[in-house]
């Protein structure tokens, strides 16, 4: 017996607002990980994940559908836009011997795409609960 894994995002059944000024769409599934460790020890991550974790506060690095976002001095959010078979194993292998923590949080986060002529106006959704 083979089990098929079907991913359902947290926003899948949510009724999103409709407006002629902007559109809101659920973004495609992405793999997300929280990586904790000492910044100076994580250089091997770039080879396995395709992006080196940024060392400066409030910065990010992107390449080929992969992103690493600085969350704190020893914490990063890693995002792989397309489902990447074996990425977790590759990261763990690259960081073998390096004190770190890698947690898959793909199931608890989702993303939306906001587009249109008024999409950049910060107050457009401030009074609405999505």
CATH number for the domain spanning 46: value is: 3.30.70.1520
- The answer to the question of residue 10 being in a domain is no
- The answer to the question of residue 35 being in a domain is yes
Most confident of 28-32, 65-69, 115-119: 65-69
Q: Look-up: residue for tokens 């991913």? A: 7
pLDDT band at 130 (very low <50, low <70, confident <90, very high): very low
The Cα 45–Cα 41 span in angstroms is 9
What is this structure's pTM?
Answer: 0.75
Q: Can you give the residue range of the structural domain that contains 68?
A: 30-121
The Cα 40–Cα 53 span in angstroms is 10
Query: What domain count does the chain have?
Result: 1
């Amino acid at each position: 017996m083979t089990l098929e894994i079907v991913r359902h995002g947290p926003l899948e059944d949510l009724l999103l607002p409709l407006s002629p000024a902007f559109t809101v769409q659920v973004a495609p599934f992405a793999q997300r990980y929280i990586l904790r460790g000492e910044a100076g020890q994580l250089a091997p991550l770039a080879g396995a994940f395709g992006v080196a974790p940024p060392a400066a506060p409030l910065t990010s690095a992107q390449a080929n559908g992969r992103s690493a976002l600085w969350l704190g001095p020893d914490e990063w959010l890693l995002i792989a836009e397309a489902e990447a078979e074996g990425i977790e194993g590759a990261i763990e292998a690259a960081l073998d011997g390096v004190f770190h923590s890698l947690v898959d949080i793909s199931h608890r986060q989702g993303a939306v795409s906001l587009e249109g002529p008024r999409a950049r106006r910060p107050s457009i959704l401030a009074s609405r609960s999505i």
